[in-house]
Chains A and B, each alone.
Chain A
Amino acid sequence: MSLLLENVRKSYKEPSGNRLPVLGIARYELAQGEQAALVGSSGGGKTTLLNVISGILAPDSGKVVVDGKDIAPLPEVVRDRFRAAKIGFVFQTFNLLPAFTALENVLLGMSFSGRGVDRAFAISLLERVGLEKRLDHTPQRMSVGEQQRVSVARSLANKPALLLADEPTANVDPANQDLILNLIRDTCKENNVTLLMVTHAMEVANRFDRLDKLANFNDPQAAYQGVAS
């Protein structure tokens, strides 16, 4: 099992002091190498779910098992290290660092893993996404599609067990959407990486064999019934 969520609850504290339940997931799982699209409406908790899975946020309760390890009870510093080593991220807005070249952005992802940087592997990843001639280009010298391809290469830099993609094609033109999507799916398949992609675009989601609707298994109100706020 690559990803298992069990009885996961997450709420935010509102300015009034009350807690706003956002996630209430009884069980959700993905097998190793599986690829799934997760569809949810805006404000439905998609990003919070990715943050909980990646360890950026700790859940209020429940289990978040990634690659066999429950990261929910771990201290933040351990979750950070675990995230760097086991989880890749592709963001909607690419989130490349503007001062760094394509190659440096990929190397940056490696440098936080604690395993050192593998320059040759970083270059091979950029070659894989078709950017062998853009290694020394900074983001502002690259097209939007190229930037997202760098982001994909960076997400795979630490050979993650799980890749989380947050609306990766939302900001690219239709011509590049297919390219990016295929790239993410193909590279995950080649490397046996589990892929969870959240999107609100059904035309993207429909291309996955497995399509989950967040609303179908996320019931925060029910999860928090009887829980003191």
Chain B
Amino acid sequence: MNLFSIAWKSVKQRKVASLLTAFSVALGVMLMVVVLVIAGAVDGAFNQRSIAYDLIIGAKGSDLQLVLSSVYRVQPPIANLPYMYLDQLRNDRRVETAIPLAFGDFTKPEHGGFPIVGTTNEYFLNEYTPGKMFEVADQAGTRQLSELYDAVVGSQVAHKNSWKVGDQFTIVHGSADSEDTHDEMFTIVSVLRQTGTPNDRSVFLNLEAVYILDGHQKPIDEVETRLNDFYGNDKERLNAALMQMEELKQKRAKGQEIGDQAMGYGLDTPEAMKEITAVYVKTREVFDAISLQSELKNGSKAMAVNPIRPIKRLMTNFVGHIQSALVVLTGMIIVVSGISIFVSIYNSMSDRRREIGIMRALGARRTSVFSIILAESTVLCMGGGVTGWLIGHGLSVAFAPYVSARTGLLLDGWALNPWEFVLFPVLLVLGALVGFLPAMTAYRTNVADALTS
């Protein structure tokens, strides 16, 4: 019969008090584990799993806004870039892939107000995150925007609306709560499998379809002003663009306005008229990304942003602090639970004085009774900790599908956060600390007095 089993007996003897104190520790640890699991999922979603591209190119402005709008689709875009700039990027020897994106519209409020992304099929043929390709959830899906009004929807969009391949829907212009509905009806050709990224709550349309929607064409004067502003000193490109605009003016003068053709409606819109909101770029070499980024810093109206950096900055400066605050808060709950163990054991000491006297009379040394009390507080702390850890991870696993369906966040319930490796040594120390004073009381017990008490 070792000291640990003697301590365990004592824990069992005071069943209710032991259960309550261990449960309070379990509660604190459970909360901490859940916070760490969610923090890990958020960190994964924002840092590692967000995007497989080297650069995002958009109009000059806030780099964070560009990433939030083009990758996470939670902010309005800064401004647009001329479509012709896409060709310029594609012809750049440093660029391996350049995928255009146009956004600003949404599904109707009753359909969840999900962001609409106009793009090309290249978007689905490239990895959405390092090492992962898009997959279709419905075998009938094609993952291809073949027709003008085809649509590919993310898993969360489909789940929210119970949409499947073949279903049709309309979209609204400008903002998620807008009542300005576009007349065009889009047909779902693919439902994507869950990715744990903002793609899950996005609707992808053919880029060409986005241009021909009502209200998306801008007045020729405004386009010319924008082209002048964007190209500035690049006379060669500016002239080419303006020449296209001139041709368009002449067509209009002859009454051949865009939209007159029954088939291929608007497909002959000159490129100079078109705009895109952002471009996802994969460069050939790491250095190419740096070179392109620094080149655009000087004089260009576009900017190139590493998609990870602004988010990391955001995480470090803001989200990271909130997470740290939550971890500290749950840590404090654990400490308070530890104090409740101290109070419980300390209060029991006067009742147990005689027990300690008996053990000492039977030959137990002072250090033995000290160790028994210390083992008891450690057992309660560690027992509560292990229970809380299991419940925390169990709850994370159990609620992962629900959280995922509601937020798109992929929770890995059994993922271990590095903090968890610190948790148990800390609990061990906490158990020893809170047990120290009661253990000292046991150590100092006067055997003769205790036996006559």
Interface residues of A (CB under 8 A from B): 47-48, 51, 54, 56-57, 76-77, 80-81, 83-85, 89, 91, 95-100, 104, 107-113, 117, 154, 158
Contact = CB atoms under 8 A, between A and B. Distances in A.
Contacts of B225: none
B161 interface: no
B404 to A, nearest CB: 47
B355 interface: yes
Given A77-B366, A97-B359, 15 more contacts: A83-B361, A84-B363, A84-B364, A89-B361, A89-B362, A91-B361, A95-B354, A95-B358, A99-B10, A104-B1, A108-B359, A109-B362, A112-B359, A112-B364, A158-B363
Interface stretch (B120-128, B171-179, B324-332, B445-453): B445-453
B362 A84 contact: yes
Which of the listed residues B2, B362, B447, B452 has the most CB atoms from chain A within 10 Å of its own CB? B362
B1 A97 contact: no
Interface residues of B, number: 25
B6 A108 contact: yes
A89 B13 CA distance: 24
Interface of A is mostly: helix
B363 A81 contact: yes
B360 interface: yes
Contact of B365 (A77, A98, A108): A77
A80 B363 contact: yes
A139 B358 CA distance: 15
A82 to B, nearest CB: 8
B360 A110 contact: no
Nearest to A109: B362
Contacts of A54: 361
Contact of A111 (B2, B358, B447): B2
Interface of B: 1-2, 6, 9-10, 12-13, 354-355, 357-368, 447-448, 451-452
B448 A112 contact: no
B448 A56 contact: yes
Given A47-B452, A51-B448, A108-B6, A85 B363 contact: yes
Given A47-B452, A99-B10, A107-B1, A80 B360 contact: yes
Contacts of B452: 47
Contact of A112 (B13, B357, B368): B368
A70 to B, nearest CB: 18
A185 to B, nearest CB: 22
Contacts of B357: 95
Contacts of A110: 1
Nearest to B10: A99
Contacts of B355: 97
The 3 closest A-B pairs by CB, nearest first: A84-B363, A99-B13, A112-B363
B358 A97 contact: yes
B1 to A, nearest CB: 4
Given A77-B365, A81-B363, A95 B9 contact: no
B1 A56 contact: no
A104 B9 contact: yes
Contact of B366 (A76, A98, A111): A76
A109 B363 CA distance: 8
A113 B363 contact: yes
Nearest to A110: B1
A80 B448 contact: no
B201 to A, nearest CB: 57
24 contacts: A48-B448, A51-B447, A77-B366, A80-B363, A80-B364, A84-B362, A84-B364, A89-B362, A91-B451, A96-B358, A97-B9, A97-B358, A97-B359, A98-B13, A99-B10, A99-B13, A104-B1, A109-B362, A109-B363, A110-B1, A111-B2, A111-B6, A113-B363, A154-B362
A2 B362 CA distance: 19
A76 B364 CA distance: 11
Contacts of A81: 363, 365
Which of the listed residues B361, B364, B368, B451 has the most CB atoms from chain A within 10 Å of its own CB? B361
Nearest to A12: B448
Contacts of B366: 76-77, 80
Contacts of B1: 104, 107-108, 110-111, 117
Given A51-B448, A111-B2, A95 B363 contact: no
B447 A56 contact: yes
B10 A112 contact: no
Contact of B360 (A56, A108, A117, A154): A56
A59 to B, nearest CB: 13
Contacts of A51: 447-448
A107 B6 CA distance: 11
Which of the listed residues B1, B10, B13, B363 has the most CB atoms from chain A within 10 Å of its own CB? B363
A28 B362 CA distance: 24
A48 B250 CA distance: 122
Which of the listed residues B12, B358, B447, B452 has the most CB atoms from chain A within 10 Å of its own CB? B358
Nearest to A51: B448
Contact of A95 (B13, B365, B448, B451): B451
B448 A108 contact: no
Contacts of A99: 9-10, 12-13
Contacts of B359: 97, 108, 112
A84 B358 CA distance: 12
Given A99-B9, A104-B1, A57 B448 contact: yes
A13 to B, nearest CB: 13
Which of the listed residues B1, B6, B365, B366 has the most CB atoms from chain A within 10 Å of its own CB? B1
A125 B12 CA distance: 26
A149 B276 CA distance: 94
Nearest to A107: B1
B91 to A, nearest CB: 83
Contacts of B354: 95
Contacts of B360: 56, 80
A91 B451 CA distance: 9
Contacts of A112: 359, 362-365, 368
B322 to A, nearest CB: 46
A154 B362 CA distance: 9
